[in-house]
Homo-oligomer: A and B are copies of this chain.
Amino acid sequence: MDTKEIFLTKAEVYKPSLCRKETAPIAMIAPFMGASDWEYKKICDAAELSSMVLGKGDKICLDFGDHQVGYLHFTITPKEGLPDAPAYIKLKFGERICEIAEKFSQSDVSAATSISSSWIQEESIHIDILPQRISLPRRYAFRFMEIEVLDTSPYYKITIDNVLCESVSAVDMDTIKPCGGIDSTLDKIDSISIKTMAECAQDVFEDGPKRDRRLWIGDLRLEALADYETFQNYDLVKRCMYLFAGTANEDGQVGSCLYVQPQPVADRIYLFDYTLLYVCCLYDYYMETKDMPFLKELWDTAYRQIEIALQRVDENGLLPDSKDWDCFIDWNPNLNKQASAQGVLIYTLKRAKELANILGDTARAEESDRLIRRLSDSALQFLWDETSGFFRSGDQRQISWASQIWLVLAEILDPQQNAALLKRLMKTNPKINMVTPYLHHYFVEALLASGLKEEAFLHIKNYWGGMVKEGADCFYEIYDPQNPLSSPYGTRAKNSYCHAWSSTPCYFIRKYLDK
């Protein structure tokens, strides 16, 4: 076996056996259009479903009371006659009620976005033999489930009962104590963020359990941080790290995301920042566990990401502003990423240098140190604009939230300067703003790194608290407080309402407050 095969074999060893719980629906509900968005009202207890005889065209909606990731089971029984034809029923699953209530036109569903309509959680199934206990083969992420009887026959109707979701997760929510009593909003944010992380912790740390179940490095790093303050499921982090190492390309570069089924394979997506965050993820893991053998095992793979990234650095010690590379940073399509990328590289080198020192890898420690100085100098020389008091990015000298955040995290300026920069950023509020909870995470990290703890937690309460006010069971992939009904995908049916990269408030709360 070569090294990569060994990594994949080890990844298999750390495969979690999932924790399974049965959850029954709590109520039958009906959606309606409220003042600004879809809402729902309770019709009756879910227990009453078993006595409801359903015929062609009947439709009911169940509320499971909280977000679930799992497998659906129910019993279908013929009533008022013998079943002379199959039952044909349609099932719709929604993380939020809008997914159930909204009628999506074909054009919404077909909208030319990067997200396939095949993620929309609905099935039409024929049931030939009745009564029968049905177990749907696919996993769904949902709180609400609609059942519509497309047809039975003129000679019989049906009842549906004993509906159960066999919820799955690599971790057990019941093992975590509430942090309790910090502040009612932060308590709530903490528990929802833990739930979000737990729902994404499956066979690997998934991006979002409803959609895009790939393992992404950027998400992994944030989920791992949340995990360390909660479940401490180190095995799952190890598994994910091994998977990336085992699926690196011939040049040694890890993919930014990978597929686990039918066998592990990296997608051919190489995001500049995600690749580097593999190093940071290893750094976090070592700091948490002090697992020296593991650090030694993956150190070469990790450092290789830096070597590859350095190939992009120009003679001025700067990452050039060109269109021939991908860097994620955030989903704002107008964001110029040159400065942010420079920040990510310095941020990563600082962690690599520390690991190299721990490992006694003097050569890499010295190389890292030299690079940090050179890249930092270049950032100050070419990106810092003394007049505006902001870092600028790209040919257009763009001022954005992202550039400030990442160059603060790179700690080129001293903490006081960084704190002043962040305050200036909040006050000036540049037009090129933050779009994803992912970048909001790094903003909070930057505030904390700059001693602005009060501002950091105020931001968590404002931003994640906005989702809580909306009644979120888990934190969303996308949340724009100015435009809560929006979807970048043409229809909210494609949005993910439980997304790994939004799960870090529990990390901040438990690491910086709950002690």
Contacts and interface: CB of A to CB of B under 8 A. Distances in A.
A116 B123 CA distance: 19
B131 A84 contact: no
A410 to B, nearest CB: 32
B116 A138 contact: no
Sorted nearest first, the 4 A-B pairs with minimum C-beta distance are A85-B116, A88-B118, A116-B153, A118-B151
A126 interface: yes
Given A87-B118, A115-B153, A123-B124, 13 more contacts: A82-B265, A82-B267, A84-B212, A85-B116, A86-B118, A88-B118, A112-B154, A114-B153, A116-B153, A118-B150, A123-B126, A130-B262, A132-B262
Nearest to A260: B129
A159 interface: no
A483 interface: no
Contacts of A268: 82
A337 interface: no
Contacts of A138: 126, 128
A119 interface: yes
A114 B154 contact: yes
A152 B118 CA distance: 7
Interface of A: 82-88, 112-119, 123-124, 126, 128-132, 138, 150-155, 211-212, 214, 259, 261-262, 265, 267-268
Q: From A84, A115, A138, A211, name the one whose CB has the most chain B CB atoms within 10 angstroms.
A: A84
Given A84-B212, A138-B126, A117 B150 contact: yes
Q: From A126, A130, A261, name the one whose CB has the most chain B CB atoms within 10 angstroms.
A: A126
B126 A124 contact: no
Contacts of A87: 118
A85 B154 CA distance: 39
B88 A131 contact: no
Contacts of A82: 259, 265, 267-268
B118 A267 contact: no
A116 B86 contact: yes
Contact of A118 (B85, B114, B129, B265): B85
Nearest to A494: B85
B117 A88 contact: yes
Nearest to A262: B129
Given A126-B138, A262-B131, A265-B82, A116 B212 contact: no
B212 A117 contact: no
A131 to B, nearest CB: 7
Contacts of A118: 85-88, 126, 150-153
Contacts of A214: 84
24 contacts: A82-B259, A83-B259, A84-B212, A85-B115, A85-B116, A85-B119, A85-B211, A86-B118, A86-B119, A88-B116, A88-B117, A88-B118, A113-B154, A114-B155, A116-B151, A116-B152, A116-B154, A117-B150, A117-B151, A118-B126, A118-B150, A118-B151, A126-B138, A129-B261
